[in-house]
Amino acid sequence: MRRVIADWLTSTEARRPTGTATAELLELELAESTLPASSQSADATAGAVRSGSVGGSDAPSGDDATRPTLRAVTPPGSAVEKSAAGEHPEDPFATTGGEAQLPGSAGEHLLQRAYDTEKRARRFYDDQVLDHLNPRMKEFVSDTDLAFIATADSHGECDSSLRAGPAGFIEVLGDRHLAYPEYRGNGVMASLGNISENPHVGMLLVDFVTELIGLHVNGKARILEDADLRAIHPHLPAEFERGRKPERWVVVQVEEAYIHCRKHIPRMEPVARNRSWGTDDVKRKGGDYFAAKGTPRPWHDPQPQRG
């Protein structure tokens, strides 16, 4: 039986988020700037009430009725204390037992409530978000040649990185698993280090050339050595571009998969280029493109070195 979401629009107080974000962050303007003619009067009055009389206590009239309404969305004073204590915000869409009822985070659900986007969000969850890769998604993954990887360590400190290769460098291992290779040369291990502390990972695969579409894949990751993954999946490719064999793989267990629409994806055209593979020349590698070398760092020893 389809679960029915309760009506949360009963009061202004009921729509206030109780998350951990600061009041400054939450005081955002709604992007919706037009209202249907039949509902302008009622919605304008309601907007004035919900906005906490921002810009005046009277209901807007004329052009004011179509202007974005600034919501007075201020979390309770205890939100900061809860954040400091490591507590998570209460999800307004959770069941009475506290289990998550919809995809997404408690924070996004709280802001959907605060900014009256529950219906749009629910429609997107119902129409576009899956907990696995369907055949079309698997085909898209197999055709892609780049992916953006988002990770965070156990403290929540974030990192984003790019992984690229020939089409199909990301292996589809089934409806709920995919894997991407890690080659020799990645000495910093920023993404892998984060995954070793915190398995949550977000991937964004984008086709900038033909379809102008993207695919989000969120889930939990683990690091496997090449030989270990091949023992489980012997069909993994044995030949790689320029003979670069993966040292290890990141295997992602899919929890969410959904579209990134093409509205703001720019079209790009691949062109031939000469790459300086194997060079140690800093300029040819682009290793100090931003002229960062030699700049003092806070982690450098402030004491002069003795001769």
Q: What is the set of domains in the chain, with CATH numbers?
A: 13-128 (no CATH), 135-269 (2.30.110.10)
CA–CA distances in Å: residue 39 to residues 53, 242, 288: 20, 63, 57
Output the pLDDT for position 186.
75
CA–CA distances in Å: residue 71 to residues 43, 114, 222: 13, 8, 41
Q: What is the amino acid identity at position 103? A: P
Q: 230-279 pLDDT, tens per residue? A: 999 999 988 777 667 899 999 999 999 999 999 889 999 888 877 665 66
Buried b (16+ CB within 10 A) or exposed e, 69-95: bbbbbbbeeebeebbeeeeebebbbee
| pLDDT tens digit at each of 307 positions of the chain | 333 333 333 444 444 444 444 555 444 433 333 434 444 444 444 444 344 433 344 444 444 444 444 444 444 444 445 555 566 778 888 877 777 788 999 999 999 999 999 999 999 999 999 999 999 999 999 999 999 999 999 999 999 999 998 899 999 999 999 999 998 877 899 999 999 999 999 999 999 999 999 999 999 999 999 999 999 999 998 877 766 789 999 999 999 999 999 988 999 988 887 766 566 665 666 678 888 888 998 888 766 556 5
